[in-house]
Structure 1
């Protein structure tokens, strides 16, 4: 038995909620450095303040993936999480602009970033699995391409809000450390748009029941439960290694004078080691159905194709996080010549960053529907992704050498094409090569390789920049370019892990 083929409007309804979610992410990505700096944060403080985003994703997504795989109620399997995340995301966007009026404005803004990012992740993670749930295998590439188009379109809307409001006469400068009205109204409008878009998918899609999914999965890859059973055979040595590594990282902070954010990285390594010890002991006692054992077991026993894609994701998202943190400081300092957050030049540069982000997201929306399918048919999914990452690396190199605001628009074209491929190709490959009944947990675990590089950037990059390039954020763009070159090379290893080249071609 095969799933019904979805029409264009079926594909639209399945992913339209992601349009709203990405408005929230775009407002966060393009404005939070500006918000933090306006509220008194220095350049050196930004990585620590931004650490909320990857850390909440690291915690939330595997848990939500595991839970959504096992959920079924009158709202369905994934839709309860869409709705819950949308409600809390909208509330965080509504409250964020009130930060300057709070007793500890910078602390309040950072706290709201945690709430916002956690809520966005609650909605976002099930959307990745939702495409695999609802579509037959030969529509996976199309489904993730449509989702990517909505991501790009939502990011365009979220990124361009402040610039458009300024053109309409809304004040773009706020005296006394307050947020400009362009930023405040952008967050409020984004809250409404996010909630409406997610509700569209909740109301206009109907999920397949567990019985229907079981019928569709006959003859396909299924979960044997082997990863969790193998967990019981593990010794505690590997878990101990994580704890030792974490302790070494913590010790090196003082020994080498590293930034204090590196403590977080060491703490996470220790925490994973402790969690692994607990999970292994539970598995040895025959308690394999609990969430902790399931997550740790599936992580340690993930399929080979997922392991190879994980390396690609690691370097891909390292570059993206560098871009989100540093584009505003780079453009305002090197192109507009100002680091004074109260100056007209700084705020003009910050608004131009919104335009640049709008361009790369707009390019991504177009490339997802017009370019990726053509490249995928011609070269296959693996080579297409590698090509797109190299185009993105060229874009980052332009940021490193170009000092003209208009020319940076050209750089964003390459970055936008790479962004489209990052959002589509790895997920299409995974959805076609993983057991359907565990798509949620595997998509959630795959997010770890998006989050860990962001944590490394947030913790280690500050120490590197302080030691070698103090006050010169332009060098981060060279790091970003090199990261995408490495990701493009790592992608070439993925083909060997696919069931067959023929299988890949059939999903292109």
Structure 2
């Protein structure tokens, strides 16, 4: 019976023991500060994601796309993740570049991100250049969607190899694998903090006055300026990450000598990766299926929030509408502030991730975080109901409502940190016995993330419109999915030796 194909790791660097060349050699562990530097590119990637998540749903509505269809724009993210990230992971497992297996893909992805964010940021100007003058800016929307799709493809092209590189460097050291994923989560938090802080600032157009044009008013100029800053940040973090990783190239000899079975495989296996990826599901043990199920439910919970968080603040809390007065824009900026606070908590939680998982077990920690996420969504629904019951007309919302909303955003940083770290560590450590490469392993988990996102992207907007056009119906589904996923994680993911503290002698 055929088995999943083996991971092709380059030979580890070794150092000679004091006994000389004839003595046994032992692997050289990668220093923690090296892992920290390698993970730093996550900060640059997440800076752009933060701007996307906080500003682009409101922005597409300002370009003229109705709220009911705003979520469709985000369909490109999960679709590109469904195909791009697994394929890039598969190809990078076999890449024989002299620069290593992962770094060429990280560099290419970072360059693509820079190009894409400039297209998105200048989409209104591009539309104006080609004749946009009406309320619905068709040409700007086309430019925006093109840049947005390239941006999501580039993000998925970069994130997968970065996580796989960290897994390569830590190899079978489960504790270091969790530490590396915690570092990745920490830099995601740093990128989020800086990105959301950038999105919440309303005077970038004064610092970058050239961003104000006939096609691009104040809100648009602030967004454009934020994406210009993003290009600088992604270039800096990519350089830090790529210069830190001493990645050995994978040679044709090391591929053929890694396993006797690999020399007998036909080249057709390399041309049918998606079939190979789906074929690996038959070999997955039951606990991995549980992890994938919980991951899917978790992302059904997260994606409505990530799509509509600042839109919820602008509509339900501040009572505004895009392109009508200042209340909606004020709400979007306040939502960005809440997401910045969320990221601070995410970063703090990442620091303690290893201790939490060692004490409680990764599955239990994940389950509790999902239940906390569900409670926060319920809290947001209650806040919406209270705000709707108040007769405040065109006045700003009461301070208590705004503070309660910010608290909900902030507390959600705890489960978000766990979502960004624990599932990856669980999958990486539990399916390595199957002989899967780390790139392919991340591709398997990625399917459980992007398929729910496709469902939410297609259904969230029309579902909300069916119940009056608010964001609350999507948050109801999110709360239920998160709660069910939490219960399954607590009851069905066993605590194994991977999760327990390791004894050092």
| 1:204 to 2:244 alignment | yes
1:274 corresponds in structure 2 to none
Mean CA deviation greater in 68-77 or 162-171: 162-171
Mean CA deviation greater in 176-185 or 381-390: 176-185
| Gapped regions of structure 2 (runs ≥ 5) | 1-24, 131-138, 388-400
1:14 corresponds in structure 2 to 38
1:71 corresponds in structure 2 to 95
1:122 corresponds in structure 2 to 157
Find 2:201's aligned residue among 141, 147, 164.
164
CA–CA separation in structure 2 for the residues paired with 1:507 and 1:30: 40
Decide which structure has greater helix share. Answer: 1
Q: Which runs of structure 2 are paired with 1:80-229 in the superposition (5 Å)?
A: 80-101=104-125, 102=127, 103=130, 104-135=139-170, 136-166=173-203, 178=217, 179-210=219-250
2:340 corresponds in structure 1 to 358
Change (3 A) 1:105 1:446: same
Change (3 A) 1:480 1:347: same
The 3-state SS of whatever aligns with 1:339 is coil
1:411 corresponds in structure 2 to 408
| Gapped regions of structure 1 (runs ≥ 5) | 230-282
Change (3 A) 1:289 1:427: same
CA–CA separation in structure 1 for the residues paired with 2:407 and 2:501: 34
Q: TM-score, normalised by structure 2?
A: 0.80
2:439 corresponds in structure 1 to 440
Contact residue 163 and residue 182 of structure 1 kept, 8 A: no
1:490 corresponds in structure 2 to 488
Residues 230-259 of structure 1: CA deviation (Å, up to 9, x unaligned): xxxxxxxxxxxxxxxxxxxxxxxxxxxxxx
Mean CA deviation greater in 13-22 or 455-464: 455-464
1:122 to partner: Cα distance: 0.6
Residues 270-304 of structure 1: CA deviation (Å, up to 9, x unaligned): xxxxxxxxxxxxx9xx9434333433322454444
CA–CA separation in structure 2 for the residues paired with 1:330 and 1:2: 55
The 3-state SS of whatever aligns with 1:501 is coil
CA–CA separation in structure 2 for the residues paired with 1:356 and 1:438: 38
The 3-state SS of whatever aligns with 2:430 is coil
Change (3 A) 1:184 1:59: same
Work out which of the two has the higher radius of gyration on C-alpha atoms and give 1 or 2.
2
Residues 98-125 of structure 1: CA deviation (Å, up to 9, x unaligned): 1112231112111110000001111111
Change (3 A) 1:175 1:361: farther
Contact residue 382 and residue 495 of structure 1 kept, 8 A: yes
Change (3 A) 1:176 1:340: farther
Q: How many residues are aligned here?
A: 441
1:506 to partner: Cα distance: 4.1
1:210 to partner: Cα distance: 4.6
Q: Which runs of structure 2 are paired with 1:87-486 in the superposition (5 Å)?
A: 87-101=111-125, 102=127, 103=130, 104-135=139-170, 136-166=173-203, 178=217, 179-210=219-250, 287-292=268-273, 293-370=275-352, 372-402=353-383, 403=387, 404-435=401-432, 438-467=437-466, 469-486=467-484
Contact residue 152 and residue 362 of structure 1 kept, 8 A: yes
Change (3 A) 1:2 1:332: farther
1:152 to partner: Cα distance: 0.8
Q: TM-score, normalised by structure 1?
A: 0.80
Residues 362-391 of structure 1: CA deviation (Å, up to 9, x unaligned): 211110103x23322221111111111122
Contact residue 95 and residue 250 of structure 2 kept, 8 A: no
CA–CA separation in structure 2 for the residues paired with 1:501 and 1:301: 20
1:451 to partner: Cα distance: 0.6
Contact residue 424 and residue 445 of structure 2 kept, 8 A: no
Find 1:40's aligned residue among 54, 59, 64.
64
Contact residue 328 and residue 350 of structure 1 kept, 8 A: yes
CA–CA separation in structure 1 for the residues paired with 2:236 and 2:381: 39
Aligned-CA RMSD value: 3.0
